[in-house]
Amino acid sequence: MKKTLLTTTLLILLFSCNENRPENKPLIENAVDNTDSSLKGSFESSRYDDNMIDKIYSELIKNDKKLSALDEKILKIHEEESKVIREYENIFIKSEAYYRDAKNQSNSITDSLLKHQIKNQLKLSADKYDIKVKNMKALISRISKNTETINNVYIVFKIRKTLPEIEKYQNAHPLKTDNLEHFIWKQDQLLNELKNIK
């Protein structure tokens, strides 16, 4: 009898948790509410995965041609940077690999006069090469610093642009304590019932 009463009470409690209670629905339309469903399967989802700032920002981009154009410019400048630098880096990598390998192989030469001659020749060539690419490496370093600055400024821009949206979202979802208090009341009822069962 006690087991049946306890089981019935638990079932009633479980079903009553599902009864229609007032939900915390948004009072006004906002970009944050659209972030969950709108990105699935879209191009932006690969660029804006789990970052809420980027998700909200991608919603703003959909309705703002200027923002969309700015985002596209930033994406293109990153792609272009990779292409421009890659060409130089390939030359640097191959040249540096050559001098490293030549130095290693010259160490195995047993004739000291030949060894000395080839090492001097390699050093002259490597020094000439270093002078030749010094300015290029400085320019590449400047490009990297500019990219870093662009990224920093763009992050700040996106945060400033999305901050009002998260605040609008919070205001559109005024959290009420009704459901929480009602559930606590149910727990208290069950707890009292369990304590009184003999």
Tokens at 61, concatenated: 């981009």
DSSP 34: G
* Of 42 and 197, more confident: 197
Q: Calculate the alpha carbon distances from 117 to 120, 121, 128, 133 in Å.
A: 5, 6, 17, 25
Q: 101-151 pLDDT, tens per residue?
A: 999 999 999 999 999 999 999 999 999 999 999 999 999 999 999 999 999
pLDDT over 50 at 10, yes or no: no
What share of the chain in percent tops pLDDT 70?
75
Give the per-residue pLDDT at 27.
52
DSSP 57: H
